[in-house]
Structure 1
């Protein structure tokens, strides 16, 4: 979902990038406060202090804007995860850092997560199907699956089906997003500790007899 307006430029100016970021930030605020149905372009424009026509200069429409919000949030989360993994050496440490950083991002960016949950849950294509169902290989799942395979290849993890275990663990991470949105009493710190414990048990990290 791309438009022929300014966002297709391969070299947007600083002002263009700043304006796009401002509009997406206001879209996140409106989505977090008013939900998907309340996130009209007119309301987003009002929040940004600009006209609707300015929004449409940078985005081809509501679908384009909301898609950009989703990819922006996922992109920032991905950067945080990549940075965290770069400081870990073993597969087990990387897996724990992956889970911890994912869940920490949810905690630190509640409005972003609420906005993404609203978009992913409600946005539909012209045929009525959800707009954000992965087509083909899911790169987020594939990345985590590769981390699990590396642990097996190095002899640190037990034998298991890395694809299906990746689905199970990713589903547990994604479930936390909905819980944070729906349940103010949800204890993310406790959830993080328990999920990491579950992951360690599921992967069966091999330890030498000397260290056991």
Structure 2
């Protein structure tokens, strides 16, 4: 069988790269509006103005395409957070920047949040990506724990277990975002300020 251009060893052409990007964007749009179960290869093909066979030329399956969509979303999310951490002055400010960036990106990219929750946390089955435990495999708590440990080493944060506190802060962020998704009238800016206060109360030295 002739290998698909997008799955074989040959580098895709510029036109093929553009087509793959289009298909990924169509997948993101559909998952964010219809959910994962309602996003079929046929629906993606229709949104892109292509045949299903043309979609399969670039991606071997729905799971293959879904994985590419998730990877793009997580890459953009990670780049956003990393950029804001880079401008922080010191580890304490970096933790604050992390909290603000995690919420800020999701506030500005609601459809991406839906893609993440649909693919990683949805329980309808049908894809190897749908594993609730995989929600934390993208280095989220590890990255925050590293920032907290750096602050402790610099002597600006109190002594605590970085992993536990990182999980607590991450859980608080997730809870606020989950509530906002269901109740969009939530003042997310005010909630962010409260989460920053919550975080600083948890990590600041008390002497």
> Normalising TM by the smaller chain, what interval?
0.7 to 0.9
> What's 1:12 paired with?
12
Gaps of 5+ in 2: none
Distance 1:148 1:60 in 2: 41
1:172-193 Cα shifts (integer Å, max 9, x gaps) = 2223442333222222111111
1:75-114 Cα shifts (integer Å, max 9, x gaps) = 1011111111111121111011111111111011111111
Q: CA deviation at 1:159?
A: 0.4
CA RMSD of aligned residues (A): 2.6
> What's 2:86 paired with?
86
Distance 1:75 1:173 in 2: 19
**Residue 28 in structure 1 maps to residue 28 in structure 2:** yes
Map 1:30-179 → 2, pairs under 5 A: 30-122=30-122, 124=125, 130-131=130-131, 133-134=133-134, 139-179=139-179
> What's 2:191 paired with?
191
Distance 1:27 1:129 in 2: 15
Q: CA deviation at 1:11?
A: 4.1
Distance 1:129 1:120 in 2: 6
Q: CA deviation at 1:153?
A: 0.4
Secondary structure of residue in 1 paired with 2:36: helix
Distance 1:193 1:4 in 2: 49
More deviation, 136-145/95-104: 136-145
Q: Is residue 41–residue 62 contact of structure 2 (8 Å, CA) maintained in 1?
A: yes
TM-score, normalising length: structure 2: 0.87
Q: CA deviation at 1:20?
A: 1.5
Gaps of 5+ in 1: 208-212
TM-score, normalising length: structure 1: 0.85
Q: Is residue 5–residue 60 contact of structure 1 (8 Å, CA) maintained in 2?
A: no
> What's 1:201 paired with?
201
Q: Is residue 100–residue 192 contact of structure 2 (8 Å, CA) maintained in 1?
A: yes
Q: Is residue 152–residue 158 contact of structure 1 (8 Å, CA) maintained in 2?
A: yes
Distance 2:21 2:91 in 1: 35
Q: CA deviation at 1:134?
A: 3.1
Distance 2:155 2:68 in 1: 40
